[in-house]
Structure 1
Amino acid sequence: MPERKPRKDATRNRAAALAAADTLFADCLSPEDVTMADIADAASVGKGTLFRAFGDRTGLIRALYGARLEPLAAAVESGPPPLGPATPPAERVPALLDALLCFKLDNRHLALALEGTGADSPYRTDHYEQWHTLLRDLLHRLPGLADPGFTAHALLAATRADLVEHLAGERQTPREDLRAQLAAFTTRVLGTPGATTPRSG
């Protein structure tokens, strides 16, 4: 039996809900302030429509985060250097971490909302597992680096949304300073002297 396609109004309502949530999270003072009722009102749909489409608030946040992450995921999967698979590991690892930091900076409240949803752990999300696996496999290819699995966790910890919010939001650390600090930290961890600070972007 062929798979049924979503009705046009369901597809439209889903897109409207994601767009409304995107705006609300971008403009909020705290991600906890954004409720399903707020999103339903902004999208001009009923709360029941949101729950049918996404299951709950966490499901909506995950869907929105995944949609925002798609361009970066595509660049990592098949894009050109420095993010794409043709890049040598010693260059690709810092480029990937820089891209992830920039994503968290550009989506601070959304990333905070995802990493702080109820009892969920950011370490159990699909996107974290994908990033960790990619970095671990790249680190395996670097000679002399002990315990690539733990090193991948440690490097990703430097891009956690709560840390990014603390440094960029509360401490008002400039974006380029954060990128340079992460690049220097990554260089020390990898033991790759001569690595350059990422370009502005």
Structure 2
Amino acid sequence: MPERRPRKDAVRNREALLAAADALFARCESPEDVTMADVAAAAGVGKGTLFRAFGDRAGLIRALYEARLEPIGEAVEAGPPPLGPGAPPRERVLALLDAVLCFKLDNRRLALALEEGGSGSPYQAEHYGRWHGLLLALLEQIPALTDRDFTAHALLAATRADLVEHLAGQERVPRGRMREQLANLAISILVSDPPRGSTAEG
């Protein structure tokens, strides 16, 4: 049997719900302030429609996050330099980290809701796997670099939503300064050349 396509009204409702959730998270003081009832009311649909579309609040947040993330993934795979193919790998790594940081600065409440609302290890989450996979693929193109998997984890740790919120919200670090600090950190890691034969202790 051919795969059934979603009805037009279901597609419309999904888009309206994502747009409503997006607006609510952008305006809220805390991610916990946004409830499923709020999203349904803002979209003009019943709560049942919302739950049928996304399952639960976590499903809604994941879907919204993935919709926002998709353009970055597309840019890495087929976009123009410095993020897309054609630029040197180190430049693409720096561009990707900058894109991740800017994404989280632009979506602070949404990123917090996603990273704080999951159960179990955050490193098993689908969204984290996507960031890590994109970054690891670029790091693997840098021949002299070792421990690429760990390096990807370490670099992404500097873009955690709770750290971004602390720096931008509590410490009032300017956006430009945060981007510069992340770039400097990445450069120091990517150009370092540890002594051959050295081993980590402990």
* Contact 1:16 1:43 (C-alpha < 8 Å) held by counterparts: yes
3-state SS, counterpart of residue 82 of structure 2 = coil
AA aligned opposite 1:12? R
For residues 177 and 74 of structure 2, the distance between their equivalents in structure 1, rounded to whole angstroms, comes to 27
Q: Which residue of 1 aligns with 2:7?
A: 7
Q: Which residue of 2 aligns with 1:91?
A: 91
C-alpha distance after superposition, 1:46-69 (max 9, x if no partner): 111111100100100011111111
Q: Which residue of 2 aligns with 1:174?
A: 174
For residues 4 and 143 of structure 1, the distance between their equivalents in structure 2, rounded to whole angstroms, comes to 46
Are 1:107 and 2:107 matched, yes or no? yes
AA aligned opposite 2:115? E
Give the CA deviation at 1:9.
Answer: 1.6
Q: Which residue of 1 aligns with 2:72?
A: 72
Give the CA deviation at 1:131.
Answer: 2.1
For residues 92 and 154 of structure 2, the distance between their equivalents in structure 1, rounded to whole angstroms, comes to 17
**Stretch deviating more after TM superposition (7-16 or 24-33):** 7-16
Q: Against the structure 1 CA distance between its residues 114 and 120, is the aligned structure 2 distance closer, same or farther, given a 3 Å change threshold?
A: farther
* Contact 1:75 1:84 (C-alpha < 8 Å) held by counterparts: yes
Q: Which residue of 2 aligns with 1:198?
A: none
Unaligned runs of 5+ in 1: 193-201
Unaligned runs of 5+ in 2: 193-202
Q: Which residue of 1 aligns with 2:116?
A: 116
For residues 65 and 129 of structure 1, the distance between their equivalents in structure 2, rounded to whole angstroms, comes to 13
* Contact 1:115 1:121 (C-alpha < 8 Å) held by counterparts: no
**Stretch deviating more after TM superposition (71-80 or 52-61):** 71-80
3-state SS, counterpart of residue 83 of structure 2 = coil
- Percent identity, aligned pairs only, is 70
Q: Which residue of 1 aligns with 2:125?
A: 125
* Contact 1:114 1:122 (C-alpha < 8 Å) held by counterparts: no
Are 1:184 and 2:193 matched, yes or no? no
Are 1:150 and 2:156 matched, yes or no? no
3-state SS, counterpart of residue 116 of structure 1 = helix
For residues 27 and 6 of structure 2, the distance between their equivalents in structure 1, rounded to whole angstroms, comes to 30
* Contact 2:73 2:134 (C-alpha < 8 Å) held by counterparts: no
Q: CA RMSD for the aligned pairs?
A: 1.6
TM-score by length of 2: 0.90
C-alpha distance after superposition, 1:23-46 (max 9, x if no partner): 000000000111101111111111
Give the CA deviation at 1:141.
Answer: 2.9
AA aligned opposite 2:55? G
AA aligned opposite 2:50? L
Give the CA deviation at 1:126.
Answer: 2.1
* Contact 2:25 2:34 (C-alpha < 8 Å) held by counterparts: yes
* Contact 1:61 1:110 (C-alpha < 8 Å) held by counterparts: yes
AA aligned opposite 2:123? Y
AA aligned opposite 2:117? T
